[in-house]
């Protein structure tokens, strides 16, 4: 589905990593001036309408936004997507490599100020954004919304060069209080400038207005948590892009 946001539109951008071809979506909100770049990492189902909307919304903040493609497959089935997620979680070098390839596409855009690039991600995309930071990428900040927090390489937190903002739901059945605590310890031990906002009453995928249609237990859109976490991201951007 093609989506536009006012004067903004999404442009497909092909790129490659290894032997596989990928296709991300770019929205240029720079108005012709040097601007921050924001990498937008998708959930497990891939580049959905939710990610298309978010990419346009980020661009509307005056950024160049690029929705990466982690799979190289358009509209995967739920079973296919689960397989991709499991395989990439088991092979962090591949996950990090795919995220870096997309970061290179964004950083090479002529209007992007490559000293002001952030990575944001939703659910599994939050995992990808965090792994990009754990890989030592030269980015200005990371934001994870109901992100997968665990990693098989927690020692790599020491490689993170930027502030990290995590926005979670207190009632998330996938990422519970134990995982939030383990992440806090990982970030602290790694010397990371991190913060976590936990939204009371919110479950998993609370930013995705389309999620209720799937009927997954504990997954629900929460308008207040969505609005508040987006404001938290904007305040974070104001700080790291200053």
Query: What's the predicted TM-score (pTM) here?
Result: 0.96
Percent of the chain with pLDDT over 90: 97
In this prediction, residue 6 carries a pLDDT of 54
Does 3 reside within a domain?
Answer: no
Average pLDDT of 13-32? Answer: 97
Does 2 reside within a domain?
Answer: no
In this prediction, residue 209 carries a pLDDT of 97
Does 137 reside within a domain?
Answer: yes
- Determine the Cα–Cα distance for residues 6 and 61; give it in Å rounded to an integer: 12
pLDDT digits (tens, 9 = 90+) for 128-179: 999 999 999 999 999 999 999 999 999 999 999 999 999 999 999 999 999 9
In this prediction, residue 75 has a pLDDT band, given cuts at 50, 70 and 90, of: very high
Residue 122, pLDDT > 90, answer: yes
Does 4 reside within a domain?
Answer: no
With contact defined as beta carbons under 8 Å apart, do 17 and 93 qualify?
no
Q: What is the CATH number of the domain that holds 172?
A: 3.40.50.1820
Residue 1, pLDDT > 50, answer: no
In this prediction, residue 198 carries a pLDDT of 98
Residue 146 domain boundaries: 10-240
In this prediction, residue 3 has a pLDDT band, given cuts at 50, 70 and 90, of: very low
Burial group, residue 228, by CB count within 10 angstroms (0-12, 13-18, 19+): middle
In this prediction, residue 7 has a pLDDT band, given cuts at 50, 70 and 90, of: confident
Does 5 reside within a domain?
Answer: no
Number of domains in the chain: 1
pLDDT digits (tens, 9 = 90+) for 192-230: 999 999 999 999 999 999 999 999 999 999 999 999 999
């Amino acid at each position: 589905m093609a989506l536009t946001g006012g004067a903004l539109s999404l442009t497909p951008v092909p790129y490659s990593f290894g032997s596989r071809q990928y296709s991300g979506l770019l929205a240029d909100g720079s108005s012709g001036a040097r601007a921050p770049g924001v990498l937008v990492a998708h959930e497990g189902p891939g580049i959905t309408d939710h990610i298309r909307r978010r990419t346009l919304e980020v661009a509307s903040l005056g950024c160049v936004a690029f929705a990466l493609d982690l799979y190289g497959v358009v509209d995967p089935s739920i079973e296919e997507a689960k397989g991709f997620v499991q395989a990439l979680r088991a092979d962090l070098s591949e996950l990090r490599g795919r995220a870096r390839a997309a970061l290179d596409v964004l950083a090479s855009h002529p209007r992007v100020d490559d000293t002001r690039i952030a990575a944001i991600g939703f659910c599994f995309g939050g995992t990808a954004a965090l792994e990009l930071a754990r890989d030592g990428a030269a980015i200005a900040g990371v934001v994870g919304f109901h992100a997968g927090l665990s990693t098989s390489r927690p020692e790599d937190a020491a490689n993170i060069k930027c502030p990290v903002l995590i926005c979670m739901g207190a009632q998330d059945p996938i990422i519970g209080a134990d995982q939030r605590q383990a992440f806090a310890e990982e970030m602290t031990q790694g010397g990371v400038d991190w913060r976590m906002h936990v939204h009371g009453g919110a479950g998993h995928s609370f930013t995705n207005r389309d999620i209720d249609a799937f009927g997954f237990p504990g997954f629900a859109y929460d308008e207040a948590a969505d609005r508040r976490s987006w404001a938290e991201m904007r305040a974070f951007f104001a700080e790291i892009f200053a």
